[in-house]
Amino acid sequence: MNLRIRKPEQGFTLLETLITLVILGVGVSLTLSLISGALTNIRKVQIRARTIQHAESVMELALLDDSITKPTVIQGDFADGTRWMIRVSEYEMPRPPQPLAVQQQVQMPVKLLAYALEIMAPGSATADLRLQTLKLVNVETLPGAAELPR
């Protein structure tokens, strides 16, 4: 009697190969989708960081400009197309409730100015970022006050 031991066939069937390719394709597409989403988020964060840096620099320059002593509006733009506008207005301090004793009002030679900064992206019609602050200024100009270039 001649008994042959049959070896199991080696290799993969066509169906196993196709299933493996489908699983691999789904994995690759999900990975590329995640990478694309991450790159989009990185770009948004970079734009937001640049906008904040622009706002900080404009506000610092405006606050350092000693020639601003009355309400005004100043506008400008950056090389990348980002636009900015600062509105300076006088700020009225809220009046405290009058106690029974008459308060004596002391007039100081200073006043408060309210600075409101709006930053607009190149294609935006509305403000993307708003900053507000107060500045105490002398009513009388001092000799030798510095004015920053515009």
Question: Could you tell me if 92 and 71 are in contact, meaning their C-beta atoms sit under 8 angstroms apart?
Answer: no
* Those residues with Cβ within 8 angstroms of residue 128's Cβ, 6 or more apart along the chain or in another chain: 51, 119, 120, 121
Q: Give residue 105's pLDDT.
A: 60
pTM above 0.85, yes or no: no
What b/e string do you get for 68-83 counting C-beta neighbours within 10 Å, with b at 16 or more?
A: bbeeeebeeebeeebb
% pLDDT > 90, the chain? 57
Domains and CATH numbers, the chain: 14-93+109-138 (3.30.1300)
CA dihedral 83, 72, 67, 79 (to 10 degrees): 10
The predicted pLDDT at position 10 comes to 77
- Most trustworthy range by pLDDT among 11-15, 66-70, 84-88: 84-88
The confidence score (pLDDT) of residue 73 equals 96
What is the residue-wise DSSP string for the chain? Answer: ----PPPPPPS--HHHHHHHHHHHHHHHHHHHHHHHHHHHHHHHHHHHHHHHHHHHHHHHHHHH-TT--S-EEEEEE-TTS-EEEEEEEEEPPPPPPP-SSPPPP---SEEEEEEEEEEE-TT-SS-SEEEEEEEEEESSPPTT------
Residue 135: predicted pLDDT: 94
Model pLDDT, residue 145: 54
For 114-127, how does the pLDDT look when each residue is reduced to its tens digit (9 = 90+)?
999 999 988 888 99
Work out the mean pLDDT of the chain and round it to a whole number: 85
Q: What is the pLDDT of residues 27-60, one digit of tens each?
A: 999 999 999 999 999 999 999 999 999 999 999 9
Radius of gyration of the chain (CA): 34
pLDDT of residue 118: 96
